[in-house]
Amino acid sequence: MDWFEYFEKGNIREKAEIDQLIPHRHEMSFLNRISYVEEISSLLGEVLIEEDAFWTRGHFPVPEKQNSEKFNIGPIFPGVLMVESAAQLGICHWRDQLGFSETEKKTMVLKQVDGVKYFRDVRPGDRLLIKTSSEKSSMRLMKSKFEGVVYKIGAEKPEKCFECLIAGLSV
């Protein structure tokens, strides 16, 4: 079973519920839906890569001249935003593990990011799914592993696109 099938079987929460869990808003809120999947003891987060996202005009933009060949590869979803999306999912997972009533007056900020590796590009129209597995979770600290897969338009199966380890500190 692939991650998408697990995602759809899980306990899905929509954007309005995610907004109750994380402080990020507007163009800096990347998660569209999250799903806790008991079968694999993981929280999965979905990021739909929009054609008109704020970064598309400047991150490997498509040249304005149609016949230009220089750097005609973009736009590409920035790797740093993949990590940011994972960190937002980490906050949701931290709250799920400790309980919202315990954590409602706090949030997590990045403390450390390790082992970031990118394997595949992510572009507008793609669907990014991120899986988290917690290594440590307390009122003061969160440490989780993250792995992302991208569902490319027209592809038969997802491809791994990144992985990292993130530690967060509560504030």
- Report the catalytic residues: 59
Q: Where do we find the tokens 């009533």?
A: 101
Question: Residues with Cβ < 8 Å from 71, sequence gap 6 or more?
Answer: 60, 63
Query: What CA–CA distance (Å, rounded) separates 161 from 151?
Result: 10
Q: Counting beta carbons within 10 angstroms of the beta carbon of residue 40, is it exposed (0 to 12), middle (13 to 18) or buried (19 or more)?
A: middle
Q: What are phi and psi of 126, to 5 degrees?
A: -80, 165
- Report yes or no: 28 and 80 within 8 Å, Cβ to Cβ: no
Query: What CA–CA distance (Å, rounded) separates 10 from 18?
Result: 15
- Report yes or no: 33 and 14 within 8 Å, Cβ to Cβ: yes
